[in-house]
Amino acid sequence: MILAKTALITGISGQDGSYLAELLISKGYEVHGVIRRSSSFNTRRLDPIYKDPHEANTRLILHYGDLADGVSLTNLIRDLQPHEIYHLGAQSHVRVSFEIPEYTAQTTGLGTLRILEAIRASGVQTRFYQASSSEMFGAAPPPQNEHTPFHPRSPYAAAKVFAYWITVNFREAYGLFAVNGILFNHESHRRGETFVTRKISRAVARIRAGLQDKLYLGNLDALRDWGYAPDFVSAMWLMLQQSKADDFVIATGESHSVREFLDLAFDRVRLDWHQFVEVDPRYLRPSEVDHLRGDASKAERVLGWKPSVRFPELVALMVDADIQLLEDELAGRLVGVDRES
């Protein structure tokens, strides 16, 4: 009998964690995920693959843990001995990181070190993926690739730069199979509701239904390289299947402004966003990242990776999904999956 590969995912309840868990289960993996204790259910995105742990052949197993709690991470890694570890957990909101910088450094920065130390100290033979970010490039002009120097513009980005380099250091110092995926922005209808794309797609659905009449945003001129999250999680998996550990930029190679996102999103329902959108300075950042556009030619050459969804399709699918979600909510068709503690 061939034993299934096991993977451990931190941040499994987030956008990327949920898509990655689906991908790995479809490839026959047994998937273990770290979730935080919360006063309400925080595993909504896992509903499509969640099975009651009492059922036979459950391939998704959730464990309580926290990136600020090194003991929980060390115990899990030692006990599970996973073949692959995808470290996606983080305080991932850039604007919020200015308000909770120390917590962001603790989780987004030091969380990575805690996991790497747990791997090193336990001697577990595993492959490690670090969710690095295009935010690390910050003020460096586009196009950005693996050789572009970092110039972080937020506590979040600074914490990610630490996590990036500590991953490289553990690879060089201890020979760990540890890689950085430097991913540019990627979105979907599972994107957190306070990131700009999802904030817009949800607002479009609500304005169309007459439930909202204003959308308050910050900097409309920022340019981002926006891709589709399911495409991007497949690149994570590819990076851990290589014979040599290496770092890769993952991006679409196109950038668009927040204004362009608004144009396409409101056009989808034949509305003019200028009638609904107002700029509220509270959403501006003390220091902004003006322009991100990635050059993912190395990933295409080495991993054979290419994005399948482009900007107009991404906007359309997010708006359509939020319209459907709202209609389901209004019709009382949404019933969450219940689970045990």
Active-site residue numbers? 133, 135, 156
Do 202 and 188 touch, CB atoms closer than 8 A?
A: no
Of the candidates 119, 118, 134, 132, the one whose C-alpha atom is nearest the C-alpha of residue 164 is 132
Q: What does 294-334 look like in DSSP terms, one character per residue?
A: B--HHIIIII-------HHHHHHHHHHHHHHHHHHHHTT--
Amino acid at 183: L
The yes or no reply on residue 195 touching ligand GDD (CB under 6 A) is: yes
* b (16+ CB within 10 A) / e for 148-163: bebebbbbbbbbbbbb
Of 281 and 304, CB closest to ligand GDD: 281
Q: Which does 258 bind (CB under 5 to 8 A by kind): ligand NAP, ligand GDD, none?
A: ligand GDD
The conformation of residue 211, written as its DSSP 8-state character, comes to S
Q: List helix spans (H) across 128-227.
A: 155-174, 196-208
- Which of 6, 7, 8, 17 is in the footprint of ligand NAP by CB under 6 A? 17
**Residue numbers 94-123 binding ligand GDD by CB under 6 A:** 94-95
> Encoding tokens for residue 207?
């304005």
How far apart CA 87 and CA 75 sit, in angstroms, is 16
Would you give the binding string for ligand NAP spanning residues 130-169, x where CB under 6 A is met?
Answer: -x-x------------------------------------
**Residue numbers 164-193 binding ligand GDD by CB under 6 A:** 184-185
Of 186 and 268, CB closest to ligand GDD: 186
- Which of 4, 5, 23, 36 is in the footprint of ligand NAP by CB under 6 A? 36
Of 64 and 275, CB closest to ligand NAP: 64
The yes or no reply on residue 231 touching ligand NAP (CB under 6 A) is: no
**Side-chain-side CA neighbours of residue 297 (13 Å):** 5
- Which of 26, 42, 194, 275 is in the footprint of ligand NAP by CB under 6 A? 42
> Encoding tokens for residue 179?
């890689």
Site for ligand NAP, rule CB under 6 A: 10-11, 13-17, 34, 36, 38, 42, 66-68, 88-92, 107, 131, 133, 183, 185-186, 192
Site for ligand GDD, rule CB under 6 A: 92, 94-95, 133-135, 184-185, 194-196, 199, 217-219, 222, 224, 258, 283, 285, 288, 292
